[in-house]
Homo-oligomer: A and B are copies of this chain.
Amino acid sequence: MILHILNRPPSSSLVYRDALAAMGAVDRLLLIEDGVLGALTAQVRHFQAIEGRLFALREDLSARGLEGQCDASVQVVDVDGFVTLTEEAGKTVSWF
């Protein structure tokens, strides 16, 4: 399992497309920084291909006032959860 990390939102950048294309069947995607905009219910359709394997960093959601708008299908993790995800993954790939 590989952890992909994405810090750009699908609302302004198309890099999410390449991140998704690079993901294997059990890989996970963590949204951080402005990437968390993609976790909103109104945006999360861009990630429907990996439902159940999509994560978002809580403190980046909450700094932006968006924790309440985060879609229920997204697994929200704190920074310790971010570390755990990197422990569980064989490696990480960052997309920006």
Residues of A within 8 A of B (CB): 11-15
- Interface SS, A side: loop
Give every chain B residue within 8 A of A15 (Cβ-Cβ). Answer: 12
Contacts of A12 in B (CB 8 A): 13-15
User: What separation, in Å, do the CA atoms of A12 and B12 have in the docked complex?
Assistant: 9
Q: Which residues in B have their C-beta under 8 angstroms from that of A11?
A: 14
Closest residue of chain B to A14 (Cβ to Cβ) is B12
Closest residue on chain B to residue A12 by CB atoms: B14
Which B residues are in CB contact (< 8 Å) with A13? Answer: 12-14
Look across to chain B and name the residue whose beta carbon is closest to the beta carbon of A9: B14
Cα A15 to Cα B12 with chains together (Å): 7
A17 nearest in chain B by CB position: B12
